[in-house]
Amino acid sequence: MVKFSYYGHACFLLDDGKYKVLADPFLTGNPAASIKAEDVECDYILVTHAHGDHIGDAAAIAARTGAEVVGIPEVLGLCEGTSGNFKGHGMNIGGSLTLPFGKVRMVFAQHSSGVPGGIACGYVIYIGGLVIYFAGDTALFSDMELIGKKDNIDFALLPIGDNYTMGLEDAAMATKLLGTRHVIPIHYDTWPVIQQDVKHFKEITESLSRASVHIVKPGEDLELELCDAKA
Ligand code: NI
Ligand code: MN
């Protein structure tokens, strides 16, 4: 079993009981944050791109906790420029990294990177017997079908806020392309510009695909299980 803790916007923690994997830790200045950057504990930090609402507190949390930061080299370079000492692991699209809890594969995202020479990415995370796709910030793209075919995704964490990323309808289509059984919407309601009717997203996604949509609010947890996840 893997515990998903939603910290608001695109920041979440996966905990398999032994290892904690934090993603896109934008907490300082995040109006939806449910935890302070100083209070987060983790072993690994996955960063999708260098926009402030994703790279956020990565360097500071890594320096404090000793967590290893995974990202595109250009994005890690920006972390190094912002604060202190931390362990970084650079990788790139299509590459996999084996870690003590399982592995991560870096995949495409259609979005700008926030740093010259970099590109934005998503991750497929293998942890606790589950395959979890974290799309990062992205538009809808047809290769999501390829990601789903290759990785047999159990849970997809998809942005639905529109304006900067996919909106409701494109995220519903993404769910169908991915073939995932479960979706958790993220990256919405943080600011007025990405305010969304998440219940409408659940309705259209569940009518368009075979997936169940789990609405998790910032500060809430969801136990990820294959057959009977509830939220
Ligand atoms: Ni972005
Ligand atoms: Mn964003």
* Closest to 40 measured CA to CA, from 60, 17, 54: 60
Cβ-contact 28, 56 below 8 angstroms: yes
Residue 220 falls inside a structural domain: no
End-to-end CA distance of the chain: 15
Which tens digits make up the pLDDT trace of 12-21? 999 999 999 9
Residue 122 and residue 98 in contact, taking contact as beta carbons nearer than 8 Å = no
Give the up-direction half-sphere exposure of residue 139: CA atoms within 13 A in the CB hemisphere.
5
Cα 143 to averaged position of ligand 2 atoms, centre (Å): 20
Over residues 127-174, the pLDDT tens digits come to 999 999 999 999 999 999 999 999 999 999 999 999 999 999 999 999
What CATH number corresponds to the domain at position 192?
3.60.15.10
Ligand nearest, relative to CA of residue 109: 1
For ligand 1, an ion, list residues with CB under 5 A: 51, 137
* pLDDT for residue 225: 86
pLDDT at residue 229 greater than cutoff 80: no
Q: Give the lowest-confidence range in 4-13, 69-78, 211-220.
A: 69-78
Q: Which residues pair with 145 in a beta bridge?
A: none
- Residue 228, in any domain of the structure: no
187 assigned to some structural domain: yes
Task: Give domain status of residue 231, yes or no.
Answer: no
**Do 34 and 219 meet the contact criterion of CB atoms below 8 Å apart?**
yes
Residue 221 resides in a domain: no
The pLDDT value given to residue 84? 60
Structural domain tally of the chain? 1
How many angstroms separate the CA atoms of 128 and 136, rounded? 21
Domain limits for position 100: 2-215
Cβ-in-10-Å burial (0-12, 13-18, 19+) of 113 comes to: buried
pLDDT tier, 86 (very low <50, low <70, confident <90, very high otherwise):
confident
Is residue 222 included in any domain, yes or no? no
Residue 226 is assigned to a structural domain of this protein = no
CA of 121, nearest ligand number? 1
